[in-house]
Structure 1
Amino acid sequence: MGAIRSTTHPGPREHARRGPSEFTELAEMIRGSGWLRRRYGYYWTKLVAAPLVLALGLTVFIWIGDTWWQLFTAAALAIVFTQIAFLGHDAAHRQIFVSGRWNDWISLILGDLLVGMSYGWWQHKHTRHHANPNKLGSDPDIELPVIAVTAETAARHRSPVMTWLRGHQGLLFFPILLFEGVSLHASSVRRVVSGGHLNRRWVEIVFIAVRLIGFVVLVFLVLSPGIAFVFLAVQLGLFGFYMGVAFAPNHKGMPIVPRDVALDFLRRQVMMSRDIRGTRLLDIAMGGLNYQIEHHLFPSMPRPHLRQAAPAIAAYCRAHDVPYAQTGLLASYAIVVRYINRVGLGERDVFTCPLVEQRAQLTVGE
């Protein structure tokens, strides 16, 4: 692939040489528009409301008592925990405060103490994803334990069971998301008790222990064992499902970048991401993640400014011939399911990087 050359159209290396000036121009435009300024009123309102709403939910849970009606409480708590996780995501990206220390502690409180997810584990994983979205060997988000989103992953573990699962993974994708909540908590616990580096390991251990153990104890104190188990299953299942359907449309089904291809920052972030069209209600429901292109270009941009900046960034990309993907929510899920189904059935080079395809076509033409 590195031997492919073109003298008539720019390939990835040519883009890489001209790219920084393009992004610098865009960054100056965004900065001049004021979309990178902090929104303290917006975020302080959310930071105060989040623990209050959670406390209200737990109070209602205790007041209702031992009844199957608590399954509705479980669903409500799943939504509350996911919304808090979105807020923690904003803090981790330095969207809330100028001070990195303030953002770190807010992330620890929201993520570890209120949701039960390790901030240190997530930060390490998510930083690698932002650096190289959808790039083989670099992006941990395309190395999933069950669902294969790349031809490389699909080719591994060809046992009869895995072959069957991969062949039906398009159909199984949404049901599997019901286990994502358990996976997130388990990965967090494994990270904080392992030997990996964490800046505030003991803080995370204490916060996660208080959240996970304390919540389970509370559930079994209020509910009888049978209802308690079902309550936890519903809460964890819907929490994982909500997290999954919010993050899945962002990159799944977008081009996969081969290991040996280098792209400039603008194209690396825009071409591998997808925006979801919708109303302000959708913005709230998805925690601003529906503006994935804007978020990847400017991770510290406060959430309320993403919607405002999107039209200008889309216009800039069009003016510079950078593919800008935008679609509706249901259409994005259809793309994701169709894509992972094709991968699971063994198709190779599914949605490869457009710049690589361009270079290949030019080589054939020569």
Structure 2
Amino acid sequence: MTKVNLITGFLGSGKTTLLLQLLKKKPAHENWAILVNEFGEIGIDGALLRAGGATLKEIPGGCMCCVNGLPMQVGLNSLLQQHKPDRLLIEPTGLGHPKQLLKLLSSDVYADWLQLNATLTLLDPRQLADEQILSDENFRDQLTAADVIVASKADRWVPEDHTRLAQWQQQQVQVRPLVTAHWGDIPLTLLDHPRDPATTLPDARHHHHHPDRSGFAALKLDGPTRWRRAVNQGQGYFSCGWLFDADTEFDGEGVQAWLAELPIERVKGRLRTPQGVLTLNRQGDDVQITLQDESVTDSRIELIHREQTDWNRLQSQLLKFRLT
């Protein structure tokens, strides 16, 4: 029987970083799998997790949490039948609602296949200062569905963040474990924390979204499939992503300067530069950029924003930083 955990959290809460840290602690004799769903069509998290030592299945550009989430069921069944993992970690999009997914995982269909353990929900206390995030249905319901709260990104907190977290915890009716994570590092034993089946999960009023396939009409090719673009929208958010071939390199300094001025809420990417792979991670004003000496098969970047955006203009800016 496969042990299963849902790893949830709003956009930018640090889910991928936490998964990478968990993979470092994976017992050598265990077979792990990860099922990851992203709001955007390009798929950044999968590229980051692929080398972590677990079987990876991606469901980009759609909501695995919806009641008609056939791609989720197909991906889940494929993992269970072909790889028979000892442990399965599921990372829904930060805009996903957990109810339908938890209902599916605990259904009779999977009773002989899955042991559903605790849902771990990441909360960056800095999000508690953002009224738009606080009023977001998915943000609230993800926390309601949690069996364990992981207060993430403690390495970046200021004293006010500690205060907000303490005040938020005092206001909670549910009593659940709360652990603090620096750089996504949590005890591996949390994955075996039991799920509370008595937790009442709220209904999602508008959790279902579909990729905006009309965006593919604007799909552009530069030469023989050198790059492509894909867009998506739903849950009050819009996304646009670009995928470049393995021969394309970027001006790293130019991209970093562009990122600092970019009027976009959420940015994730991995871009090849002459100096190495530039990893970009931005949530609001919180920007993390690293340069790694490694080899990747392509470059990709995804932008997510609350408002419809002139993607063509931003695309023109990005393409100016190509070196090849």
**TM-score, length of structure 1 as denominator length:** 0.26
Q: Which has the larger radius of gyration?
A: 1
Query: Bigger relative contact order, structure 1 or 2, given CA contacts below 8 A and separation 6+?
Result: 1
Higher strand share: 2
Which structure has more helix as a fraction of its residues? 1
